[in-house]
Structure 1
Amino acid sequence: MNRNLILFFALLFFATESYSQIIKTEKTDSTSNWVKGNKVGLDFTQISFVNWSAGGNNSISGLAKGNFIRNYTRDNMKWNNELVVRYGINKQEGQDIRKTDDQINLNSTIGYRRDTINKWFYGAKFSFLTQFSNGYSYPNVSKAISKPFGPAYIFLGIGAEYTRKDLGLTVYLSPITNKTTLVLDRRLSNEGAFGVDKAIYDETGTEIIKNGKLHRTELGALVSSQYKRKIMTNINLDTRATLYTDYLKDFGNIDIDWQIGIEMIVNKYVRANIGTHLLYDNDIKNKREVGGVQITEGPRVQLKQILGIGVEYRF
């Protein structure tokens, strides 16, 4: 995990340096059609006890994050790109370091509209999602339940996007979207993790006749939306939702990815953040430890809550 954390900070550093140089160059070109934005931040949470009668464990948490935007607009065409990276860890007294957040998310949308007053853009959307390091069902750290590119998700589709800049609202509708799930770790693919076809064993159940597939392809419909708004002075809301259903298997069974983030601005560099992340995917089976044994259950609604305060640098 330490190696992956170093990799994450290196990525933020080089992205910061390279994007800074680009921005400096673009500032001298008033005819540029590019709009660029970069945010890097670090949130901390720390709890310590001294002779505390109610008890408790000392703990410290950290979350490093980055958000990089590159949007191109020319006449009636637009091309929006966003990279989101997050990595969080927690250290409690008497426990090893544990991962709390891990995300690499790249989104790119290209669209064209008939005239400058039309709110509908017609085009294509690409999304990629994976993680930096292994994930575990703690306290078991000997058997990973997820890894980098195990899984990774790729969405590619065509459709239409409705944009209202005055309302901070964007809605994307795609009747044809290809979803590819990659599970490049052989053990996880043999187990049939994240919906890929699992390995075929002999009659004894010990020898593999055919390895599990490393990928799964689906064809379905995608609906995604984003709403960004200042709800009060120095308080901003950003909520994003994605709904996907497969035409070929379990049509009507909807995968859900819904994030809500509230940012409270203290000053130019200090921010407080409150957020929730809800996930549901019928192909992701819940895993937990029972008596030291890892068991696999059916799909579950996944919910993550985030509360942190830290520093953020925008450039």
Structure 2
Amino acid sequence: MSSPLVFIDGDQGTTGLQIHERLRDRTDLRLFTLPAAERKDPRRRAEAINACDIAILCLPDDAARKAVDAIVNPAVRVIDASSAHRTHPDWTYGFPEMTPGQPERIANAHRVTNPGCYPTGAIGLLRPLLQAGLMPGSYPVSIHAVSGYSGRGRAGVEEHEGPGSVNARAYQVYGLELAHKHTPEIQRHAELTQRPLFVPAYGAFRQGIVLTVPLELRLLAPGVDGAALHACLARHYDGMAHVRVSPLEESRAVKHLDPQVLNGTNDMNLSVFLNQEHGHVLLSAVFDNLGKGASGAAVQNLDLMLAH
């Protein structure tokens, strides 16, 4: 029996390139991409996606929808790295650590939507707390995140690494219309009943994310404190290979968060910072926007699907 054929559609962008890099030396699968002359040929792309076992789509949203529409072979399985299907009820959300049973759901799925980079951190922090009843779904959640410039795709890389890089901005807050496309994804999969306030930014480093969520204990149920929030996260992620929760003692010694510390990995580190005197808690997630936030997550989902 031949090894599974994996087709990467759109392997020229930042996510696709890293997925190809992570898979190219694998001997348990056959990796396939289209040559440059055929990448924009709809007929050739349709042939390729219908001939593979699993397709990984690294495309703009509209192109990803068209690629899925071109599938007529019922045996073809899909991992979509775009945001086209992240809130679609018929697609399985590809965040294995999100909830018990999610790895099995991904393994059995025909259509898996890869999480967004920012939502991976936000949902990773919030979903366990809401599931445990430690936070109400109506909590007024505010999320701030800073990503490396590769989060902008090739345009960000060109700005910071191309001929005009001397003029690249060191830091930029964006999404000021407060309607970032990741917000509905965060609300749905964190199980928030109210839309969160999400403010993203880019820094002058290639990749990596620090995402933070501030909480006020006075808005939580009586008796819920920072230690209880930390214990909930620690229980939820206990024994998981790619998500670590820093012990409270370790977090107390931390003076800064480095967005680049997990670059090149598929890992995410969660922390809880406490100020009991003021009743304030800060939740944080640190991970690689091109790792656990994109290509690493896609490969993790692929491995789950290949094992089924």
* TM-score bracket, shorter-length normalisation: under 0.3
- TM-score, normalised via structure 2 length: 0.27
**Larger relative contact order (CA 8 Å, sep ≥ 6):** 2
- TM-score, normalised via structure 1 length: 0.27
More helix by share: 2
